[in-house]
Every structure is written in structure tokens, then in C-alpha cells.
Structure 1
């Protein structure tokens, strides 16, 4: 943890504990008050850390915002703003060119798809010829 204004790590004191477990710290050099979310995409959010984990999981798995907002204490409008902020930050960190090779080999399973197909198993009767109806089932009389 470091002061977001001066970057120093020493002389940090606890300013308040009103949102435990999220503590607010105060820099002894500049007097700046900050917490773990300061300067991050989560800055200004009010859900507790447990709720934030559920929100992050919902965003990552593509759960609809309306469904996530049905949780107690969640406002759909603020949740949608947070979702967009998180997605924008994720896009900024996205590697546009993840492969450094000019040539990419396809997986062998994809290349051989369908080549080793075995004929379908048939019951003990012959198949009907084209244009003919299949033989009728025989009923045994007693």
C-alpha cells in the first residue's frame, strides 16, 4: 500500500474503520486519505468486498446486470456503470497480439475431425433399400 499522491509507503496511518474490512489510510507526508480502491476501477464503489467478489464473478461469467441487481442493496444503474468500467479496464489490458509466431498450427484433433468415423451400428435386420418402406414389426399371437 502506498500513497496515491506521493507514492511513499512509510508513515501510513489508519484514518478510519467505518467500512471494515476496507480500511482508510492517511499519508503522514501529504495528509491524503485513501483506501485499497483508490485509483482503481473500483474507486467510489460502495458494496462490501464480499458483494464485490460476486459482482466481479457475475461480470466475468456474463451474468445479466438485471439478475445481479436483484441482490439486496444493489442498484441496477450503478451496477451497470461499474460493469462498463470493469469491462473498459479489461479491454485496456487486453493483449492485441497474443501470438508472436507468424505461423500457427491447428490442433491435430481439429484437423482429423470426422476422418475416423466408424459405420453406425445396425440392429440384426437388413436396412431398407432406397424408396422402400422398412419391414413391419411382427406381432406374435398367443
Structure 2
């Protein structure tokens, strides 16, 4: 089984840096991510084979430019900085993050799935704090 990345997770790290610290590097990264998601909006209704073709034609060059840009920025930033961590996250997972470009069946991110399982995940973690065995059994029922 090959790993599939979540572009939204990579994007979120830069979004938080920009929102909290007005990072110019993060802002530049967000422009690339925005361009990738713009292509994705355009291909959403296409059949998977056609979606894959268009992604390769249009999003492929954007992803290549983003990867090159990230690699260059990583050389410039301090080790251990927040921006270095955001860049490292994406660079280490690059193959998985861009797998969607070659397979039209693969989504750019897993946001839809995460939203579907969120109620169960929240309920499960809330159950850890029931207070007693009896309260936990009542909550489970």
C-alpha cells in the first residue's frame, strides 16, 4: 500500500504561520497551495481519467514550482524554526502529497473523510473522560 498525503494538512501549517505571525514565506506558500486548489475546483466534476490528465497538465507544473520553492526556502531558514518545520513536513511527504497528480481517483486531500468520521472520533475521546465506569457505560448506551 502506498501512502497518500493530505495537501490540506501541509497547507494548514503555512496558514497557521501566516495567520499567527504574518510570515511572508508562509504567504508565498499559500499562493502556491491556492493555485493547486483552484485547479482542483476546475476538475472536480471530471471523470477520474480526465481529471488525472488535467491535473498533470495544469497542477503538475505548479506542484513542481512549489517543491523547488520549498527546497530553496528550506536552505534559507533557521533549523528548528516554525517555518522550517512546516517546510520539512511537506518536503518529507512530497511523494505522498503529490500522488493525487497521477491518479484521478485520489483526492487532493482527505478533508471529506475526516469530516465524516469526526463525530465518532470526538465521541470516542469524550468517553475517556466519563468520570466513572458507570458513567462511561451510560454514555456508551
- Larger RCO (alpha carbons 8 Å, 6+ apart): 2
Smaller-chain TM-score range?
A: under 0.3
In our comparison, the structure showing a higher alpha carbon Rg is 1
So what's the TM-score if we normalise by structure 1?
0.22
Q: What's the TM-score once normalised by structure 2's chain length?
A: 0.23
